[in-house]
Amino acid sequence: MAGLQLLSEYGLRVDGRRPNELRQIRCKMGVFSQPDGSAYLEQGNTKVLAAVYGPHEVRLNRSKTHHDRAYINCQFSMAVFSTSERKRRPRGDRKSQEMDMNLNQIFESAIRTELYPRSRIDIYLEVLQADGSNFSACVNAATLALIDAGIPLKDYVCSCTSTLAPSQGGAPPTPMVDVNHVEETLGGPGLSMSTLPRLDSVVHLELSGTRLHLSHIDPVAEKAATGAADIMAVLDKAVRGHVAQCLHAREVSGQGADA
Amino acid sequence: MKEPIISNCEKAFLLEAISESRRLDGRGMFDYRDLSIRFGKDYGCCEVSMGQTRVLGQVSCEIQQPKATRPNEGLLLINVGLSPMGAPHFETGRQSISSIQLNRLLEKCIKDSKCIDLESLCIVAEEKVWCIRLDLNILNHEGNLIDCASVAALAALSHFRRPDVELTSEGLIIYEAAVKEPIPLGIKHTPICVSFAIFNKGKNIVVDPSELEERVAEAEFTLGVNGYKELCGVHLSGSTQSGPTIVRQCANKALKRAVSVVALIKETLAKDSELRGSNTERGFVECVRQGTITSHGTPKICLPIKHKLPVETMEASHEDESSCDEVEVIGSGTVELKNSSVLATDTAEQVMEVEAKPKVEEISLSDDENEVQILSD
């Protein structure tokens, strides 16, 4: 892979995108019957499933209740077949625990938890194919699943990961939005930003990978923020489409029954 | 044990004070607590305190097989232990949220940013490499654990020396410190974490939050910066408005702080090597004797001044240069006011500026009849 350039001289990335292009997002809500809300999201080749149970009563562990708000429990898991080498520990190792913790914090800020005191909302995420931006795809999928479950949110939680292509031929380094696996592993920093786009609020910010010079942080952060806003447009369209479909199905089956 | 719940009035009080740019412990919004670094007798042992928050770091090394994916690099393992000694709600063994957060953030800052030269730790590729273990213990949790832990980590790693080795035909010889001088680690850059607590929808940013401020804050923002103006780790938890501007503001402050902290570490290291060279007593025992490591040695009482005493109305036998009166710390909760001319009744309403001097040996109960004893409430 030596000589593989993240950004070619024509301004194309390894998968043929431009630096400010997102990958194709496909999503479907209400994929499972058991959970209260579920969603399937594809961001390029990254495929994620999300399931939400709740709000429901806390059974076993009384210590995990808050008297004034709901307790959010997120579990992040990567299927053993999701990466190129079989993953030995799908969940429970330190990195997954850190993801769990980050997801908990994000959704505690985004869900209107004060409406459900003493109850619990569980969010389960499974990565079926990991092709970069796994965390961001999980956040987006979880948002759709929460909307499908009917849990009130302050706003869509949209997440995007951006990176910085090294400078070539004297040009300043270019920030690129929505990284894939090659761009993540080959080097360069990865800035993951989760925002509530309409409220202009940032709920999570994380830098991973190599170091990033302070002067470059502004363009990279801006790129991630606009990427998240663009993703919101896609998710919004998907939600409205899903709701329209559901209503239509109801009408069709309800013909003949009492109004 | 569960974390104690903060009452609503405490929360409201703190938020109101922050909105007026005041902090509960009298610091300014961008004031840091006193940072002090003390090294122990062994190489790689260091205790850092930021105000009352204390972290102990210890570096050790052993020879192990390298990872299969990186056969010619040494190993660096970082572990932060939250023991119940630090705070009653910490549990041994269980990986709580804060423990995971601390561990991952330090790992990102120090390991992922390649701060230590791991290739120089290789002895025989694919067979023997040095495995450096950095263990941090939280001794006291008074807020801002991540900053303190990162300073302790960097100081311990900079202080550490590993034994010299030689590969001969018979095998590997590890030389003792007395035989051959041990070798320091190769540190490529110096990352330090700086934390900020954000209140009031991003309008008030506070530096070096105390424990209460951390728990009440809307968002906590930690930046790992090094001396070359590079970000090694960024973590935002909670929710705040206008993310990119906050990042920019905080980044500049964090950079200044990182530069001054690294300078302090280098200074303390230089002093320590001087002491070692001149063969004087050093280590934690010495720090106890000097009163710089125990809590009784540090000034505990801090009374903010409202207005100074008018000097002119005092009698002529008023003491020396200082316009404020000297107070001697006798023990916890008791101060003795040394002033020749103040009547007890006058000072009842006035709050005096106290300069508590850590005189551990001289807890003198002098019989000077001019002294007025004032017991603090």
Bridge partners for A165 per DSSP: A174
Tell me, what DSSP letter sits at residue A198?
A: G
- Calpha distance A188→B58 (Å, rounded): 31
Supply the CATH number for residue A125's domain: 3.30.230.70
Q: Which among A195, A201, A221 is the nearest to B247, CB-wise?
A: A221
Bridge partners for A200 per DSSP: none
Residue A211 lies in a domain: yes
Half-sphere exposure of A140 (CA within 13 A, CB side): 37
Residue A5 lies in a domain: no
Residue A11 lies in a domain: no
What confidence score (pLDDT) does residue A84 get? 87
Residue A258 lies in a domain: no
Does the beta-carbon distance from A211 to B232 stay under 8 Å?
yes
User: How many domains are contained in chain A?
Assistant: 1
**All residues at 6 or more sequence positions from B151 whose CB lies less than 8 Å from its CB, including other chains:** B35, B37, B48, B50, B55, B192, B261, B265
pLDDT in tens, chain B (377 residues): 777 889 999 999 999 999 998 888 888 889 999 899 989 888 889 999 998 899 999 999 999 899 888 888 899 999 998 888 888 888 877 667 788 888 889 998 898 888 899 988 888 888 889 999 999 999 999 889 999 999 999 999 999 998 888 888 888 888 888 888 888 998 999 999 999 999 988 788 899 999 999 999 988 999 999 888 888 888 888 877 766 778 888 888 899 999 999 999 999 999 888 888 887 767 777 777 776 666 655 555 555 555 555 544 444 444 444 444 555 555 555 555 655 444 444 443 344 444 444 443 333 344 444 444 443 33
Q: Which among B104, B239, B248 is the nearest to A109, CB-wise?
A: B239
pLDDT for A198-233, tens place per residue? 988 889 988 888 888 888 888 888 889 899 999 999
Best mutation target, A155, A211, A222, to test chain B (most B CBs within 10 A): A211
Does the beta-carbon distance from A217 to B232 stay under 8 Å?
no
**All residues at 6 or more sequence positions from A17 whose CB lies less than 8 Å from its CB, including other chains:** A23, A178
Residue B97 sits at the chain A interface (C-beta within 8 Å): yes
Q: Which residues in chain B touch residue A218, judged by CB atoms under 8 angstroms apart?
A: 244, 247-248
- Calpha distance A162→A183 (Å, rounded): 10
- Calpha distance B339→B375 (Å, rounded): 14
Does the beta-carbon distance from A204 to B233 stay under 8 Å?
no
Is-cis flag, bond preceding A197, omega within 30? no
Helices (H) then strands (E): counts for chain B: 7, 17
Tell me, what DSSP letter sits at residue B305?
A: -
| Best CA proximity match to B64, nearest among B124, B107, B118 | B124
Among chain A residues, the shortest Cα distance to B253 is held by A214
- Using CA atoms in the order B149, B150, B151, B154, what is the torsion angle rounded to 10 degrees? 120
What confidence score (pLDDT) does residue B336 get? 59
| Best CA proximity match to A120, nearest among A104, A144, A136, A141 | A104
Does the beta-carbon distance from A205 to B236 stay under 8 Å?
yes
Residue A75 lies in a domain: yes
pLDDT for A104-144, tens place per residue? 999 999 999 999 999 999 999 999 999 989 999 999 999 99
Does the beta-carbon distance from A206 to B234 stay under 8 Å?
yes
Residue A2 lies in a domain: no
Q: How many CB pairs under 8 A join A and B?
A: 97
Residue A239 lies in a domain: no
Residue A86 lies in a domain: yes
Contact B271, B255 (CB under 8 A): no
Domain that holds residue A230: 25-234
Residue type present at position A105: Q
Token pair, residue A93, equals 């190792």
